[in-house]
Structure 1
Amino acid sequence: MNERQRARRPGGRSARVAAQVHQAVTDLIGERGYGNFTVGDVAAHAGVADSSIYRRWGSLETLLTEVALTRLNVQSPMPDTGSLDGDLRTYAAQVAREITGPDGPAVLHLAVALSSGGKQGLQAGAALSAERIRQLQSMLDRAHDRGEPALDALDVLDHILAPMYIRVLFGVVPLTPDYIDGLVDRLLRPRPGSLSDHGGP
């Protein structure tokens, strides 16, 4: 087994280092905010060498993108309950748990910052958005294959994720089960004439 294969092997020291580095990034975002720390700061906080971070991630922006993707649960399998209603409710509750956890607000601020930074930051933010939409689309495609009415991934972002993100970013918590279910209800069963009513003029 060569060095690259050993580095990619799941578990063991490689996984522990990744977990330490991810936590260091999250802590520094919470303490200092985006753009106010370096790879060296991350390495020192994580107790690893700078070279380990550069060798594995290549740049700070790449590392930050991976942290956001992982901590926002973007790369986790989508729920498959057998109905779009069940999938959306399970998914929304899952996202709510993630973003209201100890590191949730810091990671949300990171995601927002990535989308409004310089060239590399914009690329990182675009990668984050593209992965979220790809993930949502897989759930919606499955619903369509079952014969359920089709939704657009951006509808889910606008009507379920965005309101929860805004509440957490502005400290309007908790996200109660009734609130989360209400977001899903308004998307799937919009009131006539409401902004969510896709059958409007």
Structure 2
Amino acid sequence: MDEQQRTRRPGGRSARVGAAVHQAVTDLVGERGYGGFTVSEVAARAGVADTTVYRRWGSLEELLTDVTLTRLNARSPMPDTGDLAGDLHTYAAQVAQEITGPDGLAVLRLTVTLSGSGPEGMRLRDDFLGERARQMQTMLDRARERGERSLDALDVLDHLMAPMYIRVLFGAGPLTPEYLDGLVDRLLR
């Protein structure tokens, strides 16, 4: 097997290292919050060298952004139920499950923290929000192509996502199916 084939092998050492580092970050954020750990601690917990982390991610902020974006993409795929109401109800339930799951609060805290970590953090936060907006826009574009009423991605963020995030971040109440349905119904009015 040549070197090029080895580097493309899915599930190889690179994938295991990435998964271990991502889990280490998520665990450390959950235990200590952002800023309560270093790249060295991430590397130690993941069982890799510091240089591995720096070579692959460059900085703690880049690593945190990668963890956040990876979790976002893996956990909240855009549903395609055939109509916008169904898509939004399904998406709201998926996001609620994601952010109330074992790593959900840690990922939300990562995103919030990036906003306050200087220009690089702001850029990375904007990358995260841009990815979320692109995902939502895909769902909204499909609805528009079907001839349904058009919504703006910011409307979905303001009226669906933000209330869920606030409830989870501040422990302001559960994300019950009835609550989620109410958010979607108000958005569609």
Query: Shorter-chain TM-score category?
Result: over 0.9
Q: Offset of 1:16 from its aligned partner? A: 1.6
Moved over 6 A (4+): none
Q: In the aligned structure 2, how far is the partner of 1:27 from the partner of 1:72?
A: 17
Q: Superposition pairs for residues 29-40 of structure 1, below 5 Å?
A: 29-40=29-40
* Matched-pair contact (CA < 8 Å) for 2:159–2:183: yes
Structure 2 CA distance for aligned equivalents of residues 49 and 112 of structure 1:
28
Q: Do the aligned residues in 2 keep the contact of 1:74 with 1:132 (CA within 8 Å)?
A: no
Tell me the residue number matched to 2:3: 2
Q: CA deviation at 1:73?
A: 3.9
Q: CA deviation at 1:76?
A: 4.9
* 5+ residue gaps, structure 2: none
The equivalent residue for 1:168 is 168
Instruction: Give the helix-richer structure, 1 or 2.
Output: 2
Q: Quick check: 1:147 aligned with 2:131?
A: no
Separation of aligned partners in 2, 1:9 and 1:63: 22
Partner of 2:116: 116
Normalised by the size of structure 1, how large is the TM-score? Answer: 0.87
Conserved 8 A contact 2:43-2:49: yes
Let me know the Cα RMSD of the aligned residues. 1.7
Segment drifting more, 70-79 vs 161-170: 70-79
Q: TM-score, normalised by structure 2?
A: 0.92
* 1:55 shift after superposition: 2.0
- Looking at structure 2, the residues matched to 7 and 18 of structure 1 have their Cα atoms a distance apart, in angstroms, of 14
Counterpart check, 1:48 vs 2:68: no
**CA–CA distance in 2 between the matches of 1:19 and 1:68?**
13
> Residues 94 and 181 of structure 1: is their aligned pair in 2 closer, same or farther, counting only changes over 3 Å?
same
Q: Which runs of 5+ in 1 are unaligned?
A: 190-201
Partner of 1:133: 133
Partner AA of 2:13 in structure 1: R
Distance in 2, matches of 1:6 and 1:56, equals 17
Q: Is the 8 A contact 1:88 1:184 kept in 2?
A: yes
Check conservation: 1:96, 1:164, Cα contact below 8 A: yes
* Percentage of matched positions with identical amino acids: 72
